[in-house]
Amino acid sequence: MVATTASANVSGLTGRDAASRLRADGPNTVAPPPRRHLVTRIAHQLTDPLVVLLIAAAAVTSVLGDYPDTAVILLVVVVNTVIGVSQEVRADAAVTALDRMTAPTARVVRDGRHLVIPAADVVRDDLVHLEPGDVVPADLRLREAHRFQVDEAALTGESVPVAQEAGADVYAGTVVVTGRAAGTVVRTGPASALGRIAQLVATTRPGPTPLQRRLAGLSRTLGITALVLSAVVFAIGVASGRAAIDMAITAVSLVVAAVPESLPAVVTLALALGARRMAGARAIPRRLHAVETLGSVTVVASDKTGTLTEGRMAVQQAVAAHGVTYRVRGSGYSPAGELFDAADHPVAAPPALRDLARAVLLCNDATLTPPDGENPQWTAVGDPMEAALVAFAGRCGLDPEAERAAWTRVAEVPFDQDTRRMTTVHRRPDGGYLLVCKGAPESVLAAPLVERTPSGMLSNAYRMAAAGLRVLAVATAESDAAPDLRTVNDLRPAGLVAVGDPLRAQAPGIATAFDDAGIHLVLITGDHPATAAAIGSQLGIWRGGDGVVRGDEGGVTAYGVGDRRVFARIQPEQKLDIIAALQERGHVVAMTGDGVNDAPALRRADIGVAMGGGTEVARQAADLVLVDDNLATVGAAVAEGRRIYDNIRRFLRYALAGGTAEILVMLAGPFLGLAVPLLPAQILWINLLTHGLPGVALGAEPAEPGTMRRPPRSPQESVLGAGLLRSVLLAGSLLAAVVLAAAVGASALDLPWQSVAFVVLGLGQLGIALAVRAPRRAGGGRNHALTAAVAVSALMQLAGVLVPPLRDLLGTEYLSANDLAACAAVATLPGLAVWLAERASGPRNSIPATGSATRMGPAGGVIE
Ligand code: ATP
């Protein structure tokens, strides 16, 4: 049978077999979210309450034989539906594209080659390799397993690592915690126990974002307000003797025109397109809500290794048992290098240093690979720090492979983040046993493990940590009989090694840029407080005298956290407490993580940030995935989030000011001798021109200058807050006043005043669209779509009085070129006023250029 041959084969399936199985069995996914059919989408648009009102109005006008009004109303319905559906489709396409970019992957062997493929393409009998942090992609039978443990929380709800041997079954959705394994797929897709990974893989689309929900609430309030005010217009009209049915249709048109019904579509599209732009900038948002939340992030809590540092580790200093310090030089992971004594003279490694080097080489799981055709450098498999220790052993004159073969490992206690140490036992080449323990100095050099540590060694450890190095202490014991690993004591200190990992060159700049944007960069590390403080000070986020929060001394609390920005000796689970403490202090927290144990923290943070190079679990738990593992990219994503929020407010300012003006004109007109200021068809025509193209184009405005020089907005602030409502009412009133004045003036001059009101109101709104656009940045491009949209809409507006068939449709009258020029001149006034007010108030929410207003205050406490 094909299945057995294939599963027995270490070169995996052939690509052709895999493809035919994929066709036969279907993709390895839970049922994908159903695609919304076009008809459903259209039906959804047509059942919107406002559209229902319009359709009813169209029915009434056609019964009354008022065909021009029917035509305009139906045109509005069609255009609204087309815009709504097309925005929805574009938004969905953008979100689907993002989903694809962060879809889970699996490591398989096909045609004898190791490949990373989308987990959805895994088929029966595929040979899958598993490493820590992988999410098991399908139900597998293990063919080999080395110290392999999986967390079956997704299966059992209990988060305890379970050891699995070759021959055992592991299930889709469980997470590899340690070790490695290879297995053959037995079941995929719905046939596997896959339903349970649904929540991990998150193929289901999440509900509306908080902003979308708030805006839906706002739309309702606006709808009710517009309804009430239109009822007043209706009453005034009927009281002054106009036909009730005419006034009813006028009132309906007014409600439709005053409510920005395209708001939800504009917001969804702005978020989705923003998400796509972020992805282009190498930060892939996995949920739409991340796009808006990013704009209000106040704390970025970052890992140290690999995120702020380059993750290129190298042993820089070593202190041997006899207390002498040596400096080590070399390049990358190459085992070649030089040693220098305290006086900086090159030396050969003395026996005490060789013993230390052998100890860290044996108590170590990393291996080095020499350069080859593909790779011009030495490369490492395993933990980068342990790889650095192997290179160090080489630089001390040892041959790593020969040593490991001569000193076979017979027992071990793997590295544990709780105890911060690792222990191994080796058979000595000359008989007897050697026990090696390496780890954090305070856990290796303390009783009962080690009885007496020379005080010089402790001060050396502190000195090297304070230079920003990660310090490991090593202790050993020799015995004739195999030692019992449960009761290890009486070890002798064998020395210290200090590992350096250079700070990324851009890291201090990132910290400053975040400070300018009112965002606090916070450093979280498992390293010693002195190392953490040294790195913090290189980053510019820590000064002598500032406190360091220690995870190994009691719990992390909001009080303890205070304004401190450096966290040391933190274990992954404590990141949850840090997030809680920061949130309690009112912060919106973005937290980075890439390890197996980081997933809960990534979920708990307001924005979980995973590195593209991190583990699958971390990626799947995160809201934002950084493709380039570069923290600066978070800054770019925050800028994009802020820009989108600004643009949504721009749209609101423009659309609501127009709606306010329309209602005010209709309310006040009758009192100024303008019985019916605008006919229903005219109101709807203006609605069509203003809400359609210019509204959508506003969403594409570029970022304002200084976007990253102001503090984040408070997440509690209303979307109409910070003066937006006032400015809407002012601009709306001003526009209404200008329209009414123009109409009154025209009527005095015996001109067709209603058409004047129609032209001034339409052009005036377009003027406001231009006024609220983002101030231009030096060298920044313009949003030409907006200019074009405004130009097209303005021409259509003029066509409404110039083109005879449109005149019949809209009930307008001819206006001469001079009259139109006068209308256009008057219509620029409200926009001009908004523009001037905008410039006079300067960049919004600006903060002092130094950013000092938002820097964290001095924190108490000094590290010991
Ligand atoms: P960062 O992200 O800043 O590198 P981390 O949270 O990953 O820190 P851990 O890997 O938990 O840090 O390391 C914490 C401490 O445990 C280290 O400072 C070191 O003293 C010790 N340690 C780390 N790795 C090993 C290892 N392989 N063997 C022995 N001790 C180790």
Q: What is the DSSP string of 83-143?
A: HHHHHHHHHHHHHHHHHHHT--EEEEEETTEEEEEEGGG--TT-EEEE-TTPBP-SEEEEE
As a whole number of angstroms, the distance between CA 208 and CA 523 comes to 32
* Mean pLDDT to the nearest integer, 726-741: 90
Give the amino acid at 674: L
In CATH, the number for domain 314-500 is 3.40.1110.10
Average pLDDT value for residue range 292-297? 86
Pairing of strands 421-427, 433-439: antiparallel
497 forms bridges with which residues in the sheet? 318, 472
C-alpha to C-alpha distance for 27 and 191, rounded to whole angstroms: 11
In order of 55, 230, 248, 254, the CA distances from 223 in angstroms are 17, 10, 16, 11
Q: How far apart are CA 573 and CA 616, in angstroms?
A: 18
Distance CA 145, CA 168 (A): 9
Cα–Cα distance between 842 and 832 in angstroms, integer?
A: 16
Contacts of 578 (CB under 8 A, 6+ apart): 301, 524, 549, 556, 561, 567, 570
Q: Looking at the predicted structure, is the pLDDT value of residue 756 above 70?
A: yes
Active site residue 169: no
- Mutate which of 303, 310, 417 to test ligand 1's pocket (most atoms within 8 Å of Cβ)? 417
pLDDT at 760 over 50: yes
pLDDT (average), residues 651-663: 87
Query: What is the C-alpha radius of gyration for the chain, rounded to an integer number of angstroms?
Result: 34
Q: How far is the CA of 60 from the centre of ligand 1 (A)?
A: 75
* Atom of ligand 1 lying closest to residue 569 CA: 14
Structurally, at CATH architecture level, domain 230-279+636-704+720-841 sits in: Up-down Bundle (1.20)
Q: Which atom of ligand 1 is nearest to the CA of 441?
A: 20
Ligand 1 centroid to Cα of residue 526, in Å, is 6
Phi first, then psi, for residue 863 (nearest 5°) are -75, 145
Q: What percent of the chain has pLDDT over 70?
A: 91
Span from the CA of 721 to the centroid of ligand 1 (angstroms): 46
Ligand 1 probe mutation, 472, 539, 556, most atoms within 8 A of CB: 472
Asked if pLDDT for residue 342 goes beyond 90, the answer is no
Residue nearest to atom 16 of ligand 1 (CA): 420
> pLDDT by residue (tens digit) across 669-703?
777 777 778 887 888 888 888 877 787 788 777 77
Q: Place 402 in a pLDDT band, splitting at 50, 70 and 90.
A: very high
**Greatest mean pLDDT range, 126-135, 609-618, 662-671, 848-857:** 126-135
- Whether residue 6 has pLDDT greater than 50: no
The distance of Cα 725 from the centroid of its chain, to the nearest Å, equals 30
On the question of a cis peptide bond just before residue 210, with omega within 30 degrees of 0, the verdict is no
Nearest CA to ligand 1 atom 7: 526
187, 124 in Cβ contact below 8 A? Answer: yes
**How is residue 688 written in tokens?**
């069509």
> Distance, CA 54 to ligand 1 centroid (Å)?
66
* 842 phi-psi bin (left φ>0, alpha ψ -120 to 50, beta other): left
User: What is the model's pTM?
Assistant: 0.77
Over the range 370-400, which residues count as b (16 or more CB within 10 Å of their CB) and which as e?
eeeeeeeebbbeeebbbbbbbbbbbbbebeb
- Is the Cβ–Cβ distance between 538 and 509 less than 8 Å? no
Distance, in Å, from the CA atom of 537 to the CA atom of 540, rounded to the nearest integer, reads: 5
Residue 435 structure tokens: 């026990």
Q: Which fold has domain 2-30+102-203?
A: 2.70.150
Rounded to the nearest angstrom, the distance between the alpha carbon of 420 and the centre of ligand 1 is: 7
- Using alpha carbons, list the distances in angstroms from residue 301 to 236, 332, 520, 575, 712: 60, 29, 8, 9, 16
User: Which amino acid, one-letter code, is at 703?
Assistant: A
Measured in Å, residue 623 CA sits from the centre of ligand 1 at 26
Choose one of 304, 416, 420 to mutate for the ligand 1 pocket test, by most ligand atoms within 8 angstroms of C-beta: 420
Judged against a pLDDT cut of 60, whether residue 529 lies above it is answered with yes
DSSP 325-337: EEEEEESTT-S-E
What confidence score (pLDDT) does residue 848 get? 35
Active-site residue (options: 303, 355, 501, 606) = 303
Closest ligand 1 atom number to CA of residue 525: 3
Task: Give the residue whose CA is nearest to atom 6 of ligand 1.
Answer: 526
At 158-198, the pLDDT tens digits run: 667 888 888 889 988 888 888 788 999 988 877 776 655 45
Phi-psi region of 519 (alpha: psi -120 to 50; beta: other; left: phi over 0): beta
What does the pLDDT read at residue 530? Answer: 92
Q: Give the C-alpha separation, 146 to 581, whole Å.
A: 39
pLDDT, tens digit (0-9, with 9 covering 90-100), for 613-652: 778 888 888 888 888 888 888 888 888 888 888 888 888 8
Q: Whose CA is nearest to atom 9 of ligand 1?
A: 526
| Mean of per-residue pLDDT scores for the chain | 82
pLDDT-based confidence at 391, cuts 50/70/90?
A: very high
| Residues in Cβ contact with 283 at an 8 Å cutoff, skipping those fewer than 6 apart | 624, 625, 626, 627, 633, 634, 636, 637
Ligand 1 center from residue 527 Cα (angstroms): 6
Quote the pLDDT of residue 591.
92
The pick from 307, 415, 443, 548 for probing ligand 1's pocket by mutation, whose C-beta has the most ligand atoms within 8 angstroms, reads: 415
**Model pLDDT for residues 205-231, shown as the tens digit of each residue:** 455 666 777 777 787 788 888 888 888
792-814 pLDDT per residue, tens: 999 988 888 888 888 888 788 88
Closest CA to 571 of 546, 601, 542: 601
Whether the Cβ atoms of residue 523 and residue 308 lie closer than 8 Å to each other: yes
Strand, helix or coil for residue 145: strand
Quote the CA–CA distance of 844 and 727 in Å, as a whole number.
13
CB 110 within 8 A of CB 15: yes
Of 651, 688, 660, give the one whose Cα is nearest residue 264.
Answer: 651
Taking CA atoms only, the protein residue closest to ligand 1 atom 5 is: 526
Q: How far apart are CA 508 and CA 521, in angstroms?
A: 10
The residues lining ligand 1, judged by C-beta closer than 6 Å to any ligand atom, are: 303-305, 383, 385-386, 415, 417, 420-422, 438-440, 470, 472, 525-527
Can you give the pLDDT at residue 1? Answer: 33
Residue 228's CB is within 10 A of a number of other CB atoms, namely: 10
What number of other Cβ atoms are within 10 A of residue 19's Cβ? 14
Dump pLDDT digits (tens) for 451-483: 787 888 889 999 999 999 999 999 999 989 888
The CATH code belonging to domain 294-309+505-629 is 3.40.50.1000
